[in-house]
Amino acid sequence: MHPVLSDDVAHAIADRQPVVALESTIFSNLGLPSPSNAEALERCIAAIEAAGAVPAVTAVLDGVARVGLARDEHPRILGAARKAAERDLPVAIAQGWTFGATTVSASVALAAAAGVSVFATGGIGGVHRGADSTGDVSADLDALAHHPVITVCAGAKAFLDLARTLEYLETVGVPVLGWQHDDFPAFYTRSSGLRAPHRVDSAKEVAAVLSNRTRRHSGVLVAVPIPQVAELDPSELDAVLVRALADCDAAGITGAAITPFVLGRIAQATEGRSIPANLALAEQNARVAAGIAVAVAAG
Ligand code: PSU
Ligand code: MN
């Protein structure tokens, strides 16, 4: 599978200039409500450009896998989408999906295919609570293990089983690095109560981790805590998450529909306070990712 690159992304890769890939699920109706999704996209792109890197939004548009979109195509990823994880990419291409919104797994796959080594997102998918009986483990984790890409995220949301998510990443050999922070963050909150396996304090360190790993096909996960000013109250969130999961169960939602459903319930229950938090962390991840891309390009 060969994704189609935008001219600016193709030139940047050819010239070994820093590039940061972005997913499209977060900006679609599956991720954030309008008009916050447009604001999120603008802020992420501005942060990447301000740090001297080229943004590369990934998506499937009209059956074509894309890495880097033209500005006038941005409205297309702000609307109704079909969720496209990595395994869905060949189907989206074969069937000519109008807009396949790339998840983390699809985005790192496309980034790797394009030769982009840094990717920024909000939160990754993980091992779901109750995975013992359901087997629900996000394909994001397997993709992190099998593509040579640094993923910069704010950890994962606490509706997942974060301890088992970290165990999984340990088993499949993905270095997990806390960004200037000792704990693994839980998206809306700076700490999940779990330690990050390692702490890094500079982009140069992250670039050195990438170049010294033993499995050339595998990725690196950088977990950046949400900015202090944007953090939500952990005790209130806990109750919200428990209710969102119960609602999901009661509604009989399964499989790939679980994550978008739970995200919607969280946004409702926090009366939109989760939205500014989401935008702040996405923008910060984009900025940190761009700094790492600059360091990777310099190395
Ligand atoms: N977690 C979030 N926001 C998101 C997602 C996860 O806090 O938008 C999206 C990402 O695109 C991620 C996907 O890759 O959900 C994971 O879905 P699943 O749990 O079905 O693997
Ligand atoms: Mn799943």
Q: Does residue 282 surpass a pLDDT of 90?
A: yes
Q: Report every protein residue that has its C-beta within 5 angstroms of ion ligand 2.
A: 136
pLDDT bin (cut points 50, 70, 90) of residue 114 is: very high
Number of domains in the chain: 1
Q: Does residue 2 surpass a pLDDT of 90?
A: yes
Spatial distance between the Cα atoms of 31 and 43, rounded to a whole number of angstroms: 15
Which of 23, 86, 231, 283 is catalytic? The answer is: 23
Catalytic annotation present for 83: no
Q: Closest-lying ligand to the alpha carbon of 275?
A: 1
C-beta of residue 296 within 8 angstroms of C-beta of residue 18: yes
Residue range(s) defining the domain that contains residue 160:
4-298
Q: Does residue 238 surpass a pLDDT of 90?
A: no
The CA-to-CA distance between both ends of the chain, in Å, stands at 28
The whole-number average pLDDT for the span 21-46 is 96
Spatial distance between the Cα atoms of 210 and 186, rounded to a whole number of angstroms: 24
Tens digit of pLDDT for each residue in 260-273? 999 889 989 998 88
**pLDDT attached to residue 279:** 97
Average pLDDT, the chain: 97
Q: Does residue 225 surpass a pLDDT of 90?
A: yes
CA distances from 91 to 2, 81, 266 (A): 14, 14, 30
Domain CATH number, residue 161: 3.40.1790.10
Map residue 48 onto helix, strand or coil: helix
The whole-number average pLDDT for the span 228-237 is 93
Using alpha carbons only, how large is the chain's radius of gyration in Å? 17
The whole-number average pLDDT for the span 233-240 is 89
Tell me, in angstroms, the distance from the centre of ligand 1 to residue 72's CA.
26
Q: Closest-lying ligand to the alpha carbon of 126?
A: 1
> DSSP state, 127?
B
What residue's CA is closest to ligand 1, atom 16?
125
| This model's pTM is above 0.95 | yes
The whole-number average pLDDT for the span 121-131 is 97
Tell me, in angstroms, the distance from the centre of ligand 1 to residue 263's CA.
9
Catalytic annotation present for 170: no
Helix axes 104-114, 139-146, angle to 10 degrees: 20
Three-class SS of 198-257: EEECCHHHHHHHHHHCCCCCCCEEEECCCCHHHCCCHHHHHHHHHHHHHHHHHCCCCHHH
**pLDDT attached to residue 272:** 82
Which residues in the chain belong to E strands, given as ranges?
4-5, 19-22, 54-61, 64-67, 82-84, 99-102, 118-120, 150-153, 176-179, 183-186, 189-195, 198-200, 220-223
**pLDDT attached to residue 271:** 82
Spatial distance between the Cα atoms of 38 and 74, rounded to a whole number of angstroms: 9
Tens digit of pLDDT for each residue in 37-50? 999 999 999 999 99
The whole-number average pLDDT for the span 118-125 is 98
Tens digit of pLDDT for each residue in 56-104? 999 999 999 999 999 999 999 999 999 999 999 999 999 999 999 999 9
- State the residue for tokens 């993709």: 143
> For ligand 1, what atom is nearest to the CA of residue 138?
21
Spatial distance between the Cα atoms of 136 and 113, rounded to a whole number of angstroms: 26
Calculate what percentage of the chain has a pLDDT beyond 70: 100
Spatial distance between the Cα atoms of 263 and 92, rounded to a whole number of angstroms: 24
The whole-number average pLDDT for the span 7-30 is 97
